[in-house]
Structure 1
Amino acid sequence: MTTYTARPVPPEVLAELRAADDAGRPATAVTDQEGGAPLRCCLRRSRPGERIALVAYAPLHRWAAATGAGPGAYDERGPVFVHADPCPGPDPARDAGYPFPGAHRTVRRYAADGRILGGALVAAVDDEALRNAFDDPSVALVHVRAVEYGCFLYEVRRA
């Protein structure tokens, strides 16, 4: 049986984004008074009082640079929340299942060359939704995105 791994923004990329995001702007830290922001560094929602930053992130661009893929027009960037300071990342003991449950999501599939192979609206990100997303062997990775804003939430790969 294939398993799938939800991947946060890698720590080395977070360090770069905190210095200057993928739009070239420095990150600005704020204290999250309400909590609830989806943090891409540790794949959980922020808690009231935590210091967070909203930064521009180009996940496909960074993946393509590391793999030699050429995503062309699919090379986009968008806003993501991260802790303003380094954090330990996801806690597997605490964070069972897939991150940010309880909402419809878009599951977008990408080929190894960076092209979009399609996408689907899913009621929940679960093993079945990911099996369906990866049913085509040419799918190299999947991006899970928020429906309401289209923001990147996390990347999934076969484990």
Structure 2
Amino acid sequence: MTRITALPTKITRHLQNGGQDAHGQPPERAISNGHGTPCRHCLQHIPKGAEMLILAHRPFAEAQPYAETGPIFLCADHCMRHDSTELPEVLTTSPDYLIKGYGADDRIVYGTGIVIPQPEMMQQAKTILTDERVAYVHIRSARNNCYQARIDRDEPG
């Protein structure tokens, strides 16, 4: 079983409250046009006309050579974090995605990266997670390499 892991609420609230992004800058504020602006916290499309944040995000605890940093969107207003094993709609709207496995050391596990058709993404992620070297999988845009979310093993409770 796998779980889609959205951006943590603590990080999101920090940014929504004017905290600095991965480049040490406050997030830019903009108005969503309703297309191509998925919030990385609620994993929903930011509605047309709603205020949103644009910022640099590094989904890794430490800066290191494999710690990719790139632009993401967040709802400007507080939103509820996606917390489900269900695939959110925002991860069904592209024909394909780039997925790749990372080790517990936050380094890419070579041989796991693939641009894959969206309908095959979750099954391929499950296959990648069978590799003992892989701790989690990132979902990224196949066209712009933007971080979307993370896939983790859903540990039995």
The answer (yes or no) to whether the contact 1:35–1:49 under 8 Å persists in 2 is: no
Asked if 1:121 is matched to 2:115, the reply is: yes
Gaps of 5+ in 2: none
Asked if 1:57 is matched to 2:48, the reply is: no
Quote the Cα distance in structure 1 between the aligned partners of 2:125 and 2:65. 25
Which residues of 2 match residues 9-48 of structure 1 at below 5 A?
9-18=7-16, 19-48=19-48
Between 1:110-119 and 1:121-130, the stretch displaced more is 121-130
Superposition TM-score, scaled by structure 2 size: 0.84
Between 1:122-131 and 1:48-57, the stretch displaced more is 122-131
Match in the other structure for 2:2: 4
Query: Deviation of residue 32 (structure 1)?
Result: 1.3
Query: Deviation of residue 4 (structure 1)?
Result: 0.7
Quote the Cα distance in structure 2 between the aligned partners of 1:157 and 1:143. 9
**1:97 partner letter:** L
Spell out structure 1 runs of 4+ moving beyond 3 A: 33-36
**1:84 partner letter:** A
Q: What is the identity percentage for the equivalent residue pairs of Structure 1 and Structure 2?
A: 24
Superposition TM-score, scaled by structure 1 size: 0.83
Instruction: Please provide the CA RMSD for this pair.
Output: 2.0
Match in the other structure for 1:100: 91
The answer (yes or no) to whether the contact 2:58–2:69 under 8 Å persists in 1 is: yes
Asked if 1:139 is matched to 2:134, the reply is: yes
Match in the other structure for 1:68: none
